Structure 1
Amino acid sequence: MAKRIDVSDLNIYYGNFLAVEGVTVSIEPRSVTALIGPSGCGKSTFLRSLNRMHEVLPGARVEGKVSMDGQDLYAPDVDPVDVRRHIGMVFQRPNPFPTMSIYDNVAAGIRLNARKMKKNDLDDLVERSLLGANLWKEVKDRLTRPASGLSGGQQQRLCIARAIAVEPDVLLMDEPASALDPISTLAIEDLMTELKERFTIVIVTHNMQQAARVSEQTGFFNVAGAGQPGRLIEFNATEKIFSNPDEKATEDYISGRFG
């Protein structure tokens, strides 16, 4: 688990619209990489391209290369569903299956992948995943109850448990704490710090303090104007990005001069 992602000259299109242009970057394993930038600059589009989630929209396509430990994720013989099993996704708003139990939410990914498991093995996997998401102690006595009964922060951690249950190599998080209160946000940040020991994590966040707290590397995306493609302006160690960035545009954004 925890694999390296290399992106080379990536252009991302929606139909004829070039949404993101010319991204070249390497994402290191067992670390948290944060993507920051103003709304509409392409950071979430780029994130979704890493596990081919953007393809669910008609007309979406890429030019360039995305590889994981040397394997081209866009090669003709690669199944996008298999890519998504290896590169999991946690979305901005918690999206558990509301009518399913907490247990069945965690097991859903395993069942969707048609993996046959004995009941005892599945029980162990559900417990292990909930432990990994720091949720087990809070829900162990109500696993058969609907997930809709959990708080927002608990639901987001349940979604993380569901994502890690299929044992991915990479975990993508698209503003995972933006809909949460400060205490739940801190729980998610603490969880990311623990999970990076096992996974490669890429997070999109509008919260620059969060990026500074949780990540080792930060990429700053920006867009020149309406209708223009988003670009990766700077990618560097998080400490450097927030203390001594190479690009003036990065410094302007971080200091609040725009965005």
Structure 2
Amino acid sequence: MSKRIDVEHLNVYYGDFLAVEDVNINIEPRSVTAFIGPSGCGKSTFLRTLNRMHEVIPGAYAQGKVMLDGEDLYGRGVDPVTVRSMVGMVFQRPNPFPTMSIRDNVLAGVKLNNKKISKSDSDALVESSLKGANLWNEVKDRLDKPGSGLSGGQQQRLCIARTMAVKPDVVLMDEPCSALDPISTIAIEDLIHELKEQFTVVIVTHNMQQAQRVADKTAFFNIEGTGKPGKLVEYDDTATIFQNPREKATEDYVSGRFG
């Protein structure tokens, strides 16, 4: 299921404002890539262009190419809804549907895509998705209870299970642990390591230690000042970014001198 992402000369706009400028990056399949950088540098904005969530905002658009195994996700006639089923998104705060059961939360994306599925197939999909999110043993006896009744860390894993149920090629995560306690954070990080066996995983994080723990490669984004566009400054193996970066701005950021 995992696929390669190649981004070429991508510019991201909010109306007339250029928010992210000329990003070129290649993300390998079955890997974890972390985006780091100070607040406002465009890393989350850029992340959302990878499944066309950015253009949900009125007036927002992107120019350039985002290739998924050679297919341009911004090509003529490409359906954004189809793109979002291939490239799933897990958000900063857990967002299970509060009126839905745990089971229905897992199946929500599948039903949203109008996929017909039998009771036996849906039962199997719920179980496999929850097992994939390391949540099955904790909730298997209360699948009909509201998803909102779970703890924060469990809710985030439920949202990951919901993403996995659609069988995407890529999983995007926008600061998935920022609202979680340390124990839940460890559970999500362990899960990220497991997810890369099947998926291409891209994560935005402000946690330098987290990037070092989970990411194979790390991309550092920066911004020159208010009103300026965010830019990709450096992209390399995670160990190189944190121990021997090429750019002084990268070294200053990862060493805590700014940001």
Q: With structure 1 as the length reference, what TM-score do the two structures score?
A: 1.00
State the secondary structure of the residue aligned to 2:131: helix
Structure 1: 5+ residue stretches without partners: none
1:66 matched to which residue of 2? 66
Q: CA deviation at 1:62?
A: 1.1
1:257 matched to which residue of 2? 257
State the secondary structure of the residue aligned to 1:64: strand
Distance in 1 (CA, whole Å) between partners of 2:117 and 2:253 is 49
2:153 matched to which residue of 1? 153
Specify the code of the residue in structure 1 equivalent to 2:234: E
1:115 matched to which residue of 2? 115
1:47 aligns with 2:55: no
Equivalent residue runs for 1:1-259 within 5 Å: 1-259=1-259
Cα displacement string for residues 39-74 of structure 1 (whole angstroms, at most 9, x for unaligned residues): 000000000000000010011111111110000100
State the secondary structure of the residue aligned to 1:66: strand
RMSD of aligned alpha carbons: 0.4
Cα displacement string for residues 176-211 of structure 1 (whole angstroms, at most 9, x for unaligned residues): 000000000000000000010000000000001000
Q: What percent identity do the matched residue pairs reach?
A: 73
Runs ≥4 residues deviating over 2 A = none
Distance in 2 (CA, whole Å) between partners of 1:167 and 1:66 is 20
Q: CA deviation at 1:107?
A: 0.6
Specify the code of the residue in structure 2 equivalent to 1:185: T
Cα displacement string for residues 128-149 of structure 1 (whole angstroms, at most 9, x for unaligned residues): 0000000000000000000111
State the secondary structure of the residue aligned to 1:33: strand
Cα displacement string for residues 97-152 of structure 1 (whole angstroms, at most 9, x for unaligned residues): 01100000001111111111110010000000000000000000000000111000
Distance in 1 (CA, whole Å) between partners of 2:232 and 2:171 is 20
Distance in 2 (CA, whole Å) between partners of 1:48 and 1:61 is 11
